[in-house]
Structure 1
């Protein structure tokens, strides 16, 4: 089962995010109060728990949000999803807009954590339907006709 292990936000781009119990997602904008919210294609970032766990097993001492991710999701290889994939997460509907990202400069995350796994493993989404997302919410993959995918 795919579920939310952490919801994280920050007030400034390029910084570690902090865990919150829940967040309000605004349609076509992102997470209320988060630095990455706005009218663009990278409104909400997701990172698979399994990738964070691999980093921890190599000796990385990181909390959720350390890589700048908004949502930590368990139970799915997020970086294998196609652009355009839709996910229901809590009350929201998200659409994958980008897989990974190019890091132009070493940001605060790199200097604090030593490496960033978001460039290869993170995904970015836009909010198609707003609502609340909280820790423990399930996430469901939808096909293009909004039917549930079987995992």
Structure 2
């Protein structure tokens, strides 16, 4: 069973995501108000707090959202989920569409420590069932 630690949004591309208490998700769009939302396969990004802890162990002081993830989770091995896996909280349903991504040039974290976890362990999803998510909500793998 997983838990949402942080919900993070940026109104413009190229700026840090800011934590919010709740988000609204729409089908064929993703997170309402997020600059990276749209009708594509990478509507909502997720990264596990456990992955962020791995980078903290390298000496970085990092808050949830530092890797530009929309949802920071705890208790789910996100990178091990197969494509097509569905995650939900009793209302919202997300479907895993991509594991990892190519790291963009100039990533500040990679420059600092020579590594970045998002390209290996971040996942991307699309919205299947719309609704609201709140910080502290459960997020579970659906059958």
Same fold (TM over 0.5): yes
5+ residue gaps, structure 1, are 144-151
Matching residue of 1:19: 19
Please state how far the C-alpha of 1:116 moved relative to its aligned partner: 3.0
Q: Residues 45 and 90 from structure 1, CA distance in 2 versus in 1: closer, same or farther, beyond 3 angstroms?
A: farther
Q: Does the aligned pair in 1 maintain the 2:25–2:131 contact within 8 Å?
A: yes
Q: Does the aligned pair in 1 maintain the 2:58–2:113 contact within 8 Å?
A: no
Matching residue of 1:4: 4
Matching residue of 2:130: 130
Aligned residues: 143
Counterpart-to-counterpart distance in 2, 1:90 and 1:110: 37
**Cα-Cα RMSD:** 1.9
Secondary structure of the residue that 2:53 maps to in structure 1?
helix
Matching residue of 1:148: none
TM-score, structure 2 normalization:
0.91
Matching residue of 2:139: 139
Matching residue of 2:119: 119
TM-score, structure 1 normalization:
0.86
Counterpart-to-counterpart distance in 2, 1:15 and 1:115: 21
